[in-house]
Amino acid sequence: MTDGSGGLLVVDKPAGWTSHDVVARARRLCGTRRVGHAGTLDPMATGVLVLGVDRGTKLLTFLVGCDKSYAATIRLGISTLTDDAEGEATLAPGVDDVRAVEAALPAAVAALTGDIEQIPSAVSAIKVKGVRSYTRVRQGDTVELPARPVTVSRFDVLSVRPGTATVEVGPSIDVVDVDVEVDVSSGTYVRALARDLGAALGVGGHLTALRRTRVGRFGLDQAVSLDELAATAETDGPSGIRLLPIAEAARAQLPVHEVSAADAVRLSHGQRIPSGPGGAAAVAAIDPEGRLVAVLDETRATARAKVVFVSSGAAV
């Protein structure tokens, strides 16, 4: 912390906090302004939020596009403006025939698994003519976002729980809560999966709970709560907060090119070196002392440094 080398900090984000709130809190606890995150979580969501601290912020670019895993609860029978529990209900037909919905569920889930075209939730951070989509929706505009390719590599149904829900007007209605786990590519909206599942079943649907369990190779088993971080900072100061070192984090997420001391110096001066055999677009260059020198683009015969973590030949 104090030497400015930094690293990654995996936080278990609490419900009700924005990702920016968590970053602001981490800046105070870690005693540095150089904190960023590797992918936004909605305020209602909890779970893995990967933060970069000091030089660890340079690694975040290579985490934003990682696959992610979620545990979620989808409520069938009600659609909302935001496709989650934060928005007002736009349609609430309920579920009149629970058995029929349960019988149709496997096929509907299968249709949303694999490589699909997904229309993002209208209330999202995607920009439409320079303005965030959620801003346009809140201004009363009708937003129609184009579909884009995403991959849902796993969509497992864990349980199906019939129940009832209150609505703003009228008596309670029958609903079905579906607990699921999904593995998805970057850019996939789990809220949109809930919306589309409900639409496919003809009853509407929205997300009532969302917990991110993994970002790339970083999971809940590595995450700490903000309360734990605050307690550590109060007892031991910012230097007591344990970060995942940059080299260790890079090894966990990226293919590795073990470089010689001479090549490490070349990379530190912006020179190219021969690429390794993998041909990957992001490769961690690790020197003989186990330190991260750079992240390389090895898609060509000679490797180009995309980000350098050294200065005048001294690796961090």
The catalytic site residues sit at 42
**Of 312, 279, 313, 310, nearest in space to 296 by CA:** 279
Q: How far is CA 39 from the centre of its chain?
A: 5
Q: Quick one: which of 242, 255, 251 has its CA closest to 291? A: 251
Tell me how far apart the alpha carbons of residues 68 and 44 are, in angstroms, rounded to a whole number: 17
> Which candidate, 309, 186, 185, places its Cα nearest to that of 248?
309
Report the distance separating Cα 39 and Cα 307, nearest Å. Answer: 19
Identify which of 132, 150, 154 has the alpha carbon closest to the alpha carbon of residue 141. 132
Q: How far apart are CA 160 and CA 74, in angstroms?
A: 10
Q: State whether the Cα torsion 137-14-190-199 is positive or negative.
A: negative
80 forms beta bridges with: 89
Q: Pick from 121, 146, 86: which is nearest to 199 by CA?
A: 121
Residue position matching structure tokens 């569920």: 105
Q: How many other C-beta atoms can be found within 10 angstroms of the C-beta atom of residue 33?
A: 8
φ and ψ at 137, to 5 degrees? -65, -45
- Locate 274 and state its tokens: 């021969």
